[in-house]
Chain A
Amino acid sequence: MSPTTNKSLNPLPMKERMKVPRQLMPEQPANERNKNFSEVNLGYNPELARQEALRCLECAKPTCTDNCPVGVKVKEFVELIVAGDFLAAAAKIREDNVLPAVTGRVCPQEDHCEGKCLLSKKVKPLGIGYLERFVADYEQRMGTHVLPDVPPTGKKVAVVGSGPSGLTVAGDLIQKGHKVRVFEALHELGGVLVYGIPEFRLPKQIIREQLDYMREMGVEFETDVVVGRTVTIDELMHEEGFDAVYIGTGAGLPQFMGIPGEHFNGVYSANEFLTRINLMKAYKFPTYDEPMVDLHGKDVAVIGGGNTALDAIRSALRLGARKAYVIYRRSDAEMPARAEEVHHAQQEGIDFQMLTAPVEFLSDGKGWLTAARCVRMELGEPDSSGRRRPVPIKGSEFDLPLSVAVMAIGTTANPIVQSTTPGLGTDKRGYIQADSETQRTTRPGVFAGGDIVTGAATVILAMGAGRRAAKSIHDYLTNGQW
């Protein structure tokens, strides 16, 4: 793991590199951005990017790449930034990652590349995510994608779902010369990137540009197709001539706590709340027809501590909520959300009610939510997840007045594909069984990955599964061996 001694494009001696501070990400002021949906992070300019890139220690065995689910060659692309060849840097990332403008924004780098950066032993880690975003955006502005030129193989692959894992599979396989058709259930492409992650974290224009690029490469898309209902996996393979199918249908039905009052008007699942906002633009009612509860001057809480919870509550704040709470039953240390999002949310004025859980929702007697009856918790012994189990403190109940509560406590497997595909193995929770290396399912020619295999996880883990699946689908299509 010692720094390389090969001749480097980086002019700074090793000792000097540690002295360069991590370049701060320019961002919209907290007090302005909590009232709009424009992006929070504004992105590096070329000077900031080059300055940050100079900090890379160019390890001989880069642990950043080893810890990247899609294996981005970090050292190489960062060196190209130092050299000032930003387009080459973007092309280098694209060898392993078809959605760099997305991962540069939403990937939890602290759990992957940056978490293992050698610099972090002494100082702050290299801003790999920020650099990735910079070159992806630069490439987009220049509008000079290099289209791969590959001979067609004559094989056809169906990809079910246009979220991050499906798009990764499509992007990788089209570059191997296979025909790829992506089926999407909703009217818009992008899956969770479009219906789930809000504009202020991931502008929809970014997704549209990535999709345009994939179309240019030859990927075909068909919206309004619910595979399992509109057409089955068997029909795709036997009637429509697809040689392989990748299932990336994503997370499923929202979970509820099973406490009294969850059916009151004003109680949403995070999926519904975010879908109304992001996909259906309900906050622009009546210009858009889909309605949602008007949040202006209302008190809103989200239940849960993940990225989805923060996306929901930060959206509520931007839509005029007077009070915006995160109610989480464990403490800060156990919160699964990305560190940067928690930090941003705190700056914006979100009120974090840690070690707290609702036990009941209360109403006005006409079915509308008025409050959450909550209980304070303390941490007991570690549970099966290794985290200390929250235990209610007797007599700590209190009522928190609320007009809207958003449940962001996880999802269960969507059953549609599994229940209409004979022989497709599932685990006891209903998720599709797939090999963790090859992403093969129990059905020959059928592969699966992302949340429909693992349960709710992150964009980059779904893309990692897509990457492995694409490789394994290519092998299968090339040698015909199952």
Chain B
Amino acid sequence: MFKITHAQFIAPGIKRFVLEAPRIARKQKPGQFVILRIYEEGERIPVTIENSDPELGTISIVVQSIGKTTHLLNSLNTGDSILDVVGPLGKPSEIENYGTVVVVGGGVGTAMAYPSAAAFKRAGNRVISIVGARTKELVILEQELRAVSDAVMITTDDGSYADKGFVTDKLRQLIQNGTRIDLVLAIGPIVMMRAVAELTRKENIHTVVSLNPIMIDGTGMCGGCRVPIDGKSEFACVDGPEFDAHKVNFEVLVQRNSMYRDAEQRSLAEYQRAAAEKTAAHQVEESCAIAQRGER
């Protein structure tokens, strides 16, 4: 069991958890992830580690409610426990002094990009961070990123905060302004990572993306996370999760990630129905209790 020592929503539907996981905290490096299973009947899902504190023996993760497991996870609070957390998995980001590094974070991917941005800064790079979100409330870790970046650029799809547009608009601007870029790291939705890859391919800028394919064990056994890289099957859990963006077959990644969409939707719908019934039952109980107190 892995205890949650702190849990807090940082944006609507996005929650940060601090977990007691001393072994993982000692070893974690930027770019690595954990696989967790909340309860006995639960599925195993990969989640990128945001940060770790080896002294306290804790790690933090940032989770967005998307399917049943992430909704369930985000219903947990400080003091609750998660049944299994294993990691740190995957190869760490290759942190060196490249010169100028642009770190692109889309949505909750920003939380995964943040530790790498910090590490690039520590390694002596000039770090430019670009953050994209659907809307103002979903812009996360802005202050944290400012602290480790030489410049931070923000876009929202709806223009409700900072500049309206997409992260690729900002990246294109940088390129057009003649900014020398030695490396781009992009972490976020697949469509965003693909758009970044297409943009930088033309400019011949080395670009790395962190992939999130379907995964079960995460240790190089099941082969579910295979992705064609330069036409050859590679496994995100042991060969990745970071790959050269210009070699990734995004089309196959999108297709394979959609494999269980129907099941995922069914699972979520049943979970939400059960949760709603529970809330309703709870409300009935509460109003009964209030009524009883009133009677007294």
- By a beta-carbon cutoff of 8 Å, the part of chain A in contact with chain B is 185-187, 195, 223-226, 229-231, 250-254, 256, 258, 262-265, 268-269, 271-272, 275-276, 279-281, 285-291, 293, 366-367, 414-416
Contact = CB atoms under 8 A, between A and B. Distances in A.
Contact of B224 (A226, A272, A293): A272
Contacts of A288: 41-43
A310 B93 CA distance: 40
A414 B238 contact: yes
A29 B24 CA distance: 49
Nearest to B90: A229
Contacts of A226: 86-87, 89, 218-219
B272 interface: no
Contact of B217 (A186, A231, A293): A186
B259 interface: yes
A252 B86 contact: no
Interface residues of B, number: 43
A229 B85 contact: no
A272 B41 contact: no
A288 B270 CA distance: 12
Given A253-B235, A276-B216, A291-B264, A230 B222 contact: no
A465 to B, nearest CB: 19
Contact of B221 (A263, A271, A287): A271
Nearest to B91: A419
Nearest to B257: A265
A363 to B, nearest CB: 9
Contact of B238 (A225, A253, A293): A253
Contact of A280 (B27, B44, B68, B255): B44
Contacts of B69: 289
Contacts of A272: 216, 222-224
A415 B264 contact: no
A134 B68 CA distance: 44
A224 B228 contact: no
A165 B221 CA distance: 17
B37 interface: yes
Given A187-B86, A225-B86, A275-B216, A230 B24 contact: yes
Given A185-B217, A251-B221, A367-B256, 9 more contacts: A187-B44, A223-B84, A226-B89, A230-B88, A263-B228, A275-B221, A280-B43, A289-B42, A290-B44
A224 B2 CA distance: 11
A230 B228 contact: no
A229 B89 contact: yes
Contacts of A265: 255-256, 258-259
20 contacts: A185-B86, A187-B86, A195-B221, A224-B86, A225-B86, A226-B219, A229-B88, A229-B219, A230-B27, A263-B249, A263-B252, A265-B256, A269-B224, A275-B222, A288-B43, A290-B216, A291-B43, A291-B264, A414-B219, A415-B220
A347 B224 CA distance: 31
B291 interface: no
A280 B255 CA distance: 23
A293 B139 CA distance: 36
A15 B222 CA distance: 53
A164 to B, nearest CB: 15
A353 B50 CA distance: 50
B226 interface: yes
Nearest to B86: A224
A231 B216 contact: no
Contact of B87 (A230, A258, A416): A230
Contact of B43 (A254, A256, A290): A290
A98 B6 CA distance: 44
Contact of A252 (B84, B221, B258, B264): B221
A256 B69 CA distance: 30
A254 B225 CA distance: 11
Nearest to A293: B259
Given A223-B84, A263-B226, A414-B238, A291 B260 contact: yes
B23 interface: yes
A224 B84 contact: yes
B278 interface: no
Nearest to A263: B252
Contacts of B220: 252-253, 414-416
Contacts of B216: 272, 275-276, 279-280, 290
B283 interface: no
B267 interface: yes
B282 interface: no
Contacts of B222: 254, 269, 271-272, 275
A229 B87 contact: yes
Contacts of A269: 222-224
Contact of A414 (B83, B221, B264): B221
Nearest to A252: B220
Contacts of A293: 259
Contacts of B23: 225, 230-231
A225 B85 CA distance: 9
Given A229-B88, A289-B69, A185 B233 contact: no
B223 A286 contact: no
Contact of B85 (A185, A224, A367): A224
Contact of B223 (A195, A229, A253, A367): A253
B221 A289 contact: no
Given A262-B233, A414-B238, A275 B88 contact: no
B266 interface: yes
A414 B235 CA distance: 11
